[in-house]
């Protein structure tokens, strides 16, 4: 067969990448494969106008490779907007490793992944995400300088999750202020879905403020442990949206606001850490029509990136917390801008981020 001749059928095969619903003019998508370690990873570099593409690496047992590709495309795009709206000089990127973090993650696999990151020469800088820890980033650091979120004992900023939780708490308070007229969460029924690294720390802030917290997680053991430690209720059923609540805090995985859940949601405010909570943009419109205030995920979960950015810009913990606290102001501004312009908060936030990127691009061109 003449390898130069590509049939129309073969060309059509390319469409699922550049033609993916989540493909949004990404600059570069890198497929990483290593037979010896079993590494199968995808690095998505969405946009580097504001700076190098920084975003965590997620290890997840995806049902198939398309699901992994779709995830990295959505997540890396979200990082572009997150950094832009937070005022950081960073672009948007993300990586996914296909596999079970509990059984398939080895130091060799992490080192190999680090080599792929290194091959990009700093255009992409990694960090931890779901299925990753600071210790994993320490291993990546052995083979590349283009990694953040390494242990404090190794000079890094450590686990970003408590800072992320603080930012989510600030964003939730701002959304409560907008919806209820007060940002005091005392007595508010808050439902936290997913009590991992971020969810648990968020529960801590909420309990301290006197909120009436209910938690849920796939792991019953985890629920029992967090419920005991903080004195909060657990929900072990499988229809959380049948529950009455003032505030829904999605802190597990994305797309929980979808066609199946949208009409069941009773909460008046949605504010959580999970990335890509809206399955599609139109779900943001439906929330608005129902009078539910949605605090855009990428605005309020920026604490983690503020924390790891400190490793590059060398600012201290106090500055990290000051910048994270400012998520309160950003969230209120976005909610007000959305109302003024008759768009959803998500659209208002994306537009604000895009304006900053466009301004920088035009400055670079001149």
Catalytic residues: 94
Nearer to ligand NAD, 217 or 246 (CB): 217
Q: Give the CA distances from residue 35 to residues 40, 60, 131, 197, in Å, rounded to whole numbers and listed in that order.
A: 9, 18, 21, 32
Candidates 54, 195, 232, 293; binder of ligand NAD (CB under 6 A) is 195
CA angle centred on 101, ends 46 and 109, rounded to 5°: 75
Nearer to ligand NAD, 327 or 334 (CB): 327
Which x/- pattern, by CB under 6 A, does the window 328-357 give for ligand NAD?
------------------------------
Q: Which residues are annotated as a binding site for NAD(+)?
A: 194-199
Candidates 216, 330, 344, 346; binder of ligand NAD (CB under 6 A) is 216
Q: Is 251 in the site for ligand NAD (CB under 6 A)?
A: yes
Size of the site for ligand NAD (CB under 6 A): 25
- Count of C-beta atoms within a 10 Å radius of residue 266: 15
Nearer to ligand NAD, 209 or 217 (CB): 217
The region of 11-19, 111-119, 269-277, 317-325 touching ligand NAD under the rule CB under 6 A is 269-277
The answer to whether the CB of 232 falls within 8 A of the CB of 214 is yes
Which x/- pattern, by CB under 6 A, does the window 5-24 give for ligand NAD?
--------------------
Q: 159 is written with which tokens?
A: 């686990």
Q: Is 86 in the site for ligand NAD (CB under 6 A)?
A: no
Which x/- pattern, by CB under 6 A, does the window 105-144 give for ligand NAD?
------------------------xx--------------
The answer to whether the CB of 144 falls within 8 A of the CB of 74 is no
Residue 272 Cβ vs ligand NAD, minimum distance, rounded to whole Å: 8
Q: Is 252 in the site for ligand NAD (CB under 6 A)?
A: yes
Burial class (CB in 10 A: 0-12, 13-18, 19+), 243: middle
Around 324, how many Cα atoms within 13 Å sit in the side-chain half-sphere?
Answer: 28
The answer to whether the CB of 152 falls within 8 A of the CB of 130 is no
Q: Is 304 in the site for ligand NAD (CB under 6 A)?
A: yes
Provide the b/e sequence for 194-217 (b: ≥16 CB within 10 Å): bbbbbbbbbbbbbbebebbbbbbb
The region of 3-11, 218-226, 321-329, 332-340 touching ligand NAD under the rule CB under 6 A is 218-226
Q: Is 76 in the site for ligand NAD (CB under 6 A)?
A: no
- Count of C-beta atoms within a 10 Å radius of residue 138: 18
Alpha helix (H) ranges present in the chain? 8-12, 15-18, 65-86, 107-119, 134-141, 161-180, 197-209, 220-230, 281-289, 297-300, 303-313, 317-325, 327-341, 345-365
Q: Is 158 in the site for ligand NAD (CB under 6 A)?
A: no
Q: Which residues bind ligand NAD (CB under 6 A)?
A: 129-130, 160-161, 164, 193-199, 216-219, 222, 251-253, 273-275, 301, 304
């Amino acid at each position: 067969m003449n390898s130069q001749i590509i049939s129309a059928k073969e060309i059509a095969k390319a469409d699922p990448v550049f033609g993916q619903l989540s493909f949004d003019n990404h600059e570069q998508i890198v497929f990483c494969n290593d037979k010896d370690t079993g590494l199968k990873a995808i690095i998505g570099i969405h946009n580097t106008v504001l700076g190098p593409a920084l975003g965590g690496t997620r290890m997840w047992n995806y049902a198939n490779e398309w699901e992994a590709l779709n995830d990295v495309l959505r997540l890396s795009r979200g990082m572009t907007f997150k950094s832009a709206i937070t005022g950081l000089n960073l672009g948007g990127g993300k990586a996914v490793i296909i596999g079970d973090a509990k059984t398939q993650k080895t130091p060799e696999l992490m080192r190999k992944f680090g080599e792929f990151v290194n091959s990009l020469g700093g255009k992409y800088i990694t960090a931890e995400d779901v299925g990753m820890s600071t210790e994993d980033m320490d291993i990546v650091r052995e083979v590349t300088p283009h990694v953040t979120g390494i242990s404090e004992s190794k000079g890094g900023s450590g686990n970003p999750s408590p800072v992320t939780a603080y930012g989510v708490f600030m964003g939730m308070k701002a959304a409560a202020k907008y919806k209820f007229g007060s940002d005091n969460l005392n007595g508010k029924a808050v439902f936290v879905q997913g009590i991992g690294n971020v969810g648990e720390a968020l529960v801590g802030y909420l309990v301290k403020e006197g909120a009436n917290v209910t938690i849920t997680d796939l792991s019953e053991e985890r629920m029992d442990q967090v419920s005991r430690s903080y004195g909060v209720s657990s929900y072990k059923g499988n229809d959380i949206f049948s529950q009455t609540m003032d505030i829904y805090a999605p802190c597990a995985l994305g797309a929980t606001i979808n066609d199946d859940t949208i009409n069941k949601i009773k909460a008046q405010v949605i504010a959580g850490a999970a990335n890509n909570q809206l399955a599609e943009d139109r779900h943001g419109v439906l929330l608005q029509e129902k009078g539910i205030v949605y605090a855009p995920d990428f605005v309020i979960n920026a604490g983690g990136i503020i924390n790891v950015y400190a490793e590059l810009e060398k600012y201290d913990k106090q500055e990290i917390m000051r910048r994270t606290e400012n998520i309160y102001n950003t969230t209120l501004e976005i909610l007000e801008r959305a109302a003024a312009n008759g768009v959803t908060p998500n659209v208002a936030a994306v537009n604000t981020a895009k304006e900053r990127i466009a301004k920088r691009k035009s400055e670079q061109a001149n």
